[in-house]
Amino acid sequence: MNVLLIEDSPTDAELLEFKLAQRGNGEIRLEVVSRLADGLARLDERGFDLVLLDLSLPDAQGLGTFQKLNQNANASRLPIIVLTGLADSQLAIDTVREGAQDYLVKDEVDGRILLRSLHYAVERKKVQMEALRLRHEAEEMERRRSEFLAMVSHELRNPMTGILGYGHLLSKTRLDLLQREYAEAICSGAKSLVALLNNLLELSSAEAGQVRLESQPTALREVLEETVALQLAQVRTKGLELVATVDPAIPDTVMSDPLKLRQVLLNLMTNA
């Protein structure tokens, strides 16, 4: 195991090397630097399996020492154990929260404890990195799924809108009762599919964090009447009645997003 020790005290560094040699059976290869800047340079030059870090260095002090090290791309991928003379419980908690694998006080650690901490830290970091990789893969799959939903919805909504338009035109021509029933069924089905596609588009946009609300003058009663009209045929087939009533105190025009408002109303009516 290649370990980088960032420690400015030669005495502490020698003692640590002695403790590891006693217990490590030569498996630990230790390289020592005395400044944080030198440690960052060594990390960029060669590969290490773990970093042992003292928090009191000539060019960095306290929690900031760990934070500066962890900002380095190479260091952030490695397990970092803080090995310091500062027996400060709050500092220990803060350092672990920042991402340190362990916080050890020099005077309280022997070779056995230190060696065990090194091995545990390496294994924990492997688990963390694997979990991070899987999360990124899941996020990428979710992004692609949302993009696919949006694409399919767009491609299907255009022809369905055309069918709906022609259905309305057809219903305004001279038709016998059976033909009118067929035309109304076409319009009703097309409206339902367009509403469903709009919901899919809304869902994919929400998952991608791309929902944008417009704010424009909106004829509230007109939007409500149009939405009710879209649902009438479907409601009647169930033997139900759909009635929309607007409080007279509500103004005719409000600032809103008419498309989103229509979708919300459609969802409420569909689920009722």
Q: Quick one: pLDDT at residue 85?
A: 87
* Domain count across the chain: 3
Looking at residue 95, which CATH number applies to its domain? 3.40.50.2300
Within this chain, do residues 182 and 272 fall inside the same structural domain, yes or no? Answer: no
**What range defines the domain where residue 156 resides?**
136-207
- Phi/psi region, residue 62 (left: phi>0; alpha: psi -120 to 50; beta: rest), is left
Q: Quick one: pLDDT at residue 204?
A: 67
Q: Quick one: pLDDT at residue 33?
A: 93
Burial-class residue 207 by CB neighbours within 10 Å (0-12, 13-18, 19+): middle
Residue 130 domain flag = no
Q: Quick one: pLDDT at residue 133?
A: 92
Q: How far is it, in rounded angstroms, from Cα 48 to Cα 179? A: 79
Q: Quick one: pLDDT at residue 25?
A: 67
Q: Quick one: pLDDT at residue 7?
A: 93
Looking at residue 183, which CATH number applies to its domain? 1.10.287.130
Share of the chain above pLDDT 70, in %: 91
Structure tokens at 96: 């672990």
Residue 123 domain flag = no
Q: Quick one: pLDDT at residue 24?
A: 62
The pLDDT tens digits for 127-168 are 988 999 999 998 888 778 777 777 777 677 767 777 877 787
Looking at residue 256, which CATH number applies to its domain? 3.30.565.10
Residue 131 domain flag = no
Spans of the chain, pLDDT less than 50: none
The answer to pTM > 0.75 is no
Within this chain, do residues 12 and 90 fall inside the same structural domain, yes or no? Answer: yes
